[in-house]
Structure 1
Amino acid sequence: MEAGIVGLPNVGKSTLFNALTASKAAQSANYPFCTIEPNEGIVSVPDGRLDRISKYFNPQKIIPAALKLVDIAGIVKGASEGEGLGNKFLSHIREVDAILQVVRCFEDPDVTHVAGGVNPLSDMEVIETELMLADMQSIENSRNKAERAARAGDKEAKERLAVMEKCTASLDQLIPLRKLKWEDSEQKILASFGLMTAKPVLYIANVDENDLGGNGPLVQKVKEFATANGAGVVPVCAKLESEIAELDEGDRLEMLQSVGLEEPALAYLARAAYQTLGLQSYFTAGPKEVRAWTIPIGATGPQAAGVIHSDFERGFIRAEVYTLQDLETYKTEAAIRQAGKLRVEGKAYVMKDGDICHFLFNV
């Protein structure tokens, strides 16, 4: 799964993307549409549980979970009608699973704002409106074909048409599709449309170095908007984070301490993006490696095993599961087993975030 970084031009998207992916490429020039084709990068998801588990195994490698990020060019008012190469850029958003919207919450006379002034609420509404207009157009383009098939008695077409009508009714009232309740059968159809306002959103408030905690009035407006729309907010100073990302480990810790941070804000952002995508981690542990594996929330034992190898899912017999708390209490897997804390779970088991597992399979 992947998340797309979007926003108006010059809000700090590419700066943030470069910092997240530890890119040392030259910073983009200060003008709109400097990102044309989307850049892609893989971001590690910091997880303190990996180090806690590793204390008991002394592994050769520690492998964190990761997620894919896509830096999509700036969207402007009128993008749904082709402004600013809008149709091309919107097509990139359709392909991602979640949207990370960067919102400018800092004043800087040297950084041009496409609308002439800093107004995060206006910026957020521009993006939301353009995505809704584009979704309306997508539905309209598909409606005739679905109507013809439905009139011919195609049951699947009738179901698709019913979902289209529900989407249209919502969008006509300027309500993004992610705010509606969907049945499981509707969800599957909705996902096939690739509609952008159905995707989960995380707002990234790009703040000034004097407001790293995101307590200023501009960020408060973003938080109010996000709360009303069931979304999260992470304040990040993209400029500072890009500088921190360029440093070696020692200098990085010193700089973090100097600004009062325990870890880069990007660590919080990566975890928040992971959650926005509906993902969680389970762990495998041994002397060769301690590793976090990424699964959707609600995945079963066999589905989790299949992330390691398809044979594990196909020949799944059972999972042996214990918790980090068990490990910290009993110190070794042998002691956990002896204490009767090693659980044996079957095919119907729904994985919990943080499970430490061994899978038994036979093919």
Structure 2
Amino acid sequence: MEAGIVGLPNVGKSTLFNALTCSGAAASANYPFCTIEPNEGIVSVPDSRLDTITKYIPPQKIIPAILKLVDIAGIVEGASKGEGLGNKFLSHIREVDAVLQVVRCFEDEDVTHVSGDVNPISDIEVIETELLLADLETLTNALPKAERAARSGDKEAKVRVEVIKRCSAHADEGNLLRTLEFTPDEAKIVRGLGLMTAKPVLYIANVDEDDVPGNGPLVQKVREHAAKVGAEVVPVCAKFEAELSELDEADRAEMLESVGLEEPALGTVARAAYRTLGLQSYFTAGEKEVRGWTIPIGATAPQAAGVIHTDFEKGFIRCEVYTLAALEEYKSEKEIRAAGKLRVEGKEYVMKDGDICHFLFNT
């Protein structure tokens, strides 16, 4: 699963991307960052539960859950028609699972706004309009092919035609496709079409250094908009984070304290992106490693096992599960077993966030 960072020019998008990835590298040896390509990065999701687990099960390695971030080329008005780097922007955003939209909420005479004045709601509307226009074009182009397949008696194609028509009617009225409800089969069709306004969105309000907590009026406007569309807002000062990422651990802690923050923005952004993507973590713990694994909310035990290796899902027998609270109470897995607090779950078990697991399987 990956999230694409998007925004208009000069909103601080790339500054934020660089700061997040650098802070991920500097935060701790346990939270690594690696560059895949110049505009892509994998960042660890900071999780205090890992520290608690390793207190009782000391491992050789600690591996947190990860999130892939993609710094997508900036968009301008007319991008859906190829203006600026529109085509590149649109092709990349179709591939990500969620949109992290950076919205400028700071005034700076030295950084020109593409529209002339700072108006975060207008910025959001420009990008949403361009994505919606591109989605309409995608739907228009996809319909004839789907109709031809449906005429041949293909049942799946008939469903595809209905989905395309419903999405087109909704988008024609200016509505974003994420406001529609889809069955699992319909959602699969929508994902296959790469419809961008159907993807979940997280707004990142890039604030001024004088308002690092994000209490200013511009951020409040973004929060009001986000509340209407069921999205989250995370205030981040990209400039502050860029400076923070260059400091050593002691100086970083002091700088964070000076503005009333407990951690770099990486933590809050990563966790909010996790929620936006509908993800959660479970853990495996042993002497070799303690590791966080990323799964969709609602994943079953076999599906969770498959994240480790496809053979684990195919040959799944059962899952042994215990909670972090049980580990804190009984101090070791051995004592958890002895107290009868280690559960044995089968193929129908739906994973809970924070489960600590052993999977039993055959090949």
Q: Scaled by the length of structure 1, what TM-score is found?
A: 0.94
1:108-147 alignment to 2 at 5 Å? 108-147=108-147
Deviations 1:43-79 (A, max 9, x none): 1100010001110012221111111110011111111
Aligned to 2:197: 197
Secondary structure in 2 aligned to 1:84?
A: coil
Residues 360 and 280 of structure 1: is their aligned pair in 2 closer, same or farther, counting only changes over 3 Å? Answer: same
Residues 38 and 97 of structure 1: is their aligned pair in 2 closer, same or farther, counting only changes over 3 Å? Answer: farther
Deviations 1:210-230 (A, max 9, x none): 112211110011011111111
Unaligned runs of 5+ in 1: 25-36
1:309-320 alignment to 2 at 5 Å? 309-320=309-320
Secondary structure in 1 aligned to 2:110?
A: coil
Deviation at 1:110, TM superposition (A): 0.4
The answer on whether the counterparts of 2:178 and 2:199 sit within 8 Å (CA) in structure 1 is yes
CA distance in 2, matches of 1:38, 1:273: 21
CA distance in 2, matches of 1:148, 1:260: 60
Unaligned runs of 5+ in 2: 25-36
Greater alpha carbon shift after TM alignment, 283-292 vs 150-159: 150-159
Deviation at 1:148, TM superposition (A): 2.3
Secondary structure in 1 aligned to 2:84?
A: helix
Aligned to 1:27: none
For the aligned residue pairs, the C-alpha RMSD in angstroms reads: 1.4
The answer on whether the counterparts of 2:23 and 2:264 sit within 8 Å (CA) in structure 1 is no
Secondary structure in 1 aligned to 2:3?
A: strand
Aligned to 1:19: 19
CA distance in 1, matches of 2:21, 2:325: 32
Amino acid at match of 1:220: Q
CA distance in 2, matches of 1:238, 1:287: 38
Amino acid at match of 1:201: V
CA distance in 2, matches of 1:318, 1:230: 37
Deviation at 1:207, TM superposition (A): 0.4
Aligned to 2:98: 98
CA distance in 2, matches of 1:149, 1:293: 40
CA distance in 2, matches of 1:307, 1:264: 28
2:110 aligned with 1:107: no
Aligned to 1:290: 290
Deviation at 1:81, TM superposition (A): 0.8
Amino acid at match of 2:49: R
Deviation at 1:256, TM superposition (A): 1.0
CA distance in 1, matches of 2:207, 2:264: 14
2:250 aligned with 1:250: yes
Amino acid at match of 1:2: E
Amino acid at match of 2:172: D
The answer on whether the counterparts of 2:131 and 2:196 sit within 8 Å (CA) in structure 1 is yes
Q: Percent identity?
A: 76
Secondary structure in 1 aligned to 2:103?
A: strand
Greater alpha carbon shift after TM alignment, 263-272 vs 321-330: 263-272
CA distance in 2, matches of 1:285, 1:242: 34
CA distance in 2, matches of 1:7, 1:177: 19
Amino acid at match of 2:273: A
Deviation at 1:23, TM superposition (A): 7.8
Aligned to 2:241: 241
CA distance in 2, matches of 1:38, 1:150: 43
The answer on whether the counterparts of 2:209 and 2:237 sit within 8 Å (CA) in structure 1 is yes
Aligned to 1:84: 84
CA distance in 1, matches of 2:66, 2:47: 11
Aligned to 2:274: 274
The answer on whether the counterparts of 2:324 and 2:355 sit within 8 Å (CA) in structure 1 is yes
Deviation at 1:281, TM superposition (A): 0.4
Task: Tell me which stretches of 4 or more aligned residues in structure 1 moved more than 4 Å.
Answer: none
The answer on whether the counterparts of 1:42 and 1:67 sit within 8 Å (CA) in structure 2 is yes
Deviations 1:141-166 (A, max 9, x none): 11111222223333222111100011
The answer on whether the counterparts of 1:236 and 1:266 sit within 8 Å (CA) in structure 2 is no
Deviations 1:236-282 (A, max 9, x none): 00110111112121221121112221111221011111111111100
Amino acid at match of 1:164: I
Amino acid at match of 2:275: Q
Aligned to 1:4: 4
The answer on whether the counterparts of 1:38 and 1:70 sit within 8 Å (CA) in structure 2 is no
Q: Scaled by the length of structure 2, what TM-score is found?
A: 0.94
The answer on whether the counterparts of 1:38 and 1:72 sit within 8 Å (CA) in structure 2 is no
The answer on whether the counterparts of 2:73 and 2:88 sit within 8 Å (CA) in structure 1 is no
Deviation at 1:140, TM superposition (A): 0.7
Deviation at 1:38, TM superposition (A): 7.2
Aligned to 1:216: 216
Greater alpha carbon shift after TM alignment, 81-90 vs 327-336: 81-90
CA distance in 2, matches of 1:23, 1:204: 17
